[in-house]
Amino acid sequence: MLKYYLAVTFDVCEHNNLYQDMNEYLVDSSDNLVEKVKEFAQQDIAPVVKVYESDSKDFSKGQLYKEYKFKEFECNCKDEESM
């Protein structure tokens, strides 16, 4: 059975209580998922990327497949405030 993947990038700032989705990207099942997720995170400067999996292209019954966190893109506003 063919699986479909949708990566969603998120902007996160715990200091400002921000957790907002930014962009959605369809991922071809033949692509290296981890590499694609890293590309999306870097492109959007997103500290969190969630990947959803579905049996259909419309993601009507999609479910969370995996969540990736990228420390290098985390908000540093707490650090900036203490300066």
- Give pLDDT tens digits for 29-58: 889 999 999 999 999 999 999 999 999 888
Q: Across the chain, what does the average pLDDT equal?
A: 89
Q: How many domains does the chain have?
A: 1
Tokens read off for 48 = 């969190």
Give me the domain span that covers residue 18. Answer: 4-81
Query: What confidence score (pLDDT) does residue 19 get?
Result: 87
Distances (CA, A) of 59 to 2, 30, 37, 71, 77: 13, 18, 18, 28, 35
Q: What pLDDT score does 83 carry?
A: 45
Predicted pLDDT of residue 65: 96
pLDDT at 27 over 90: yes
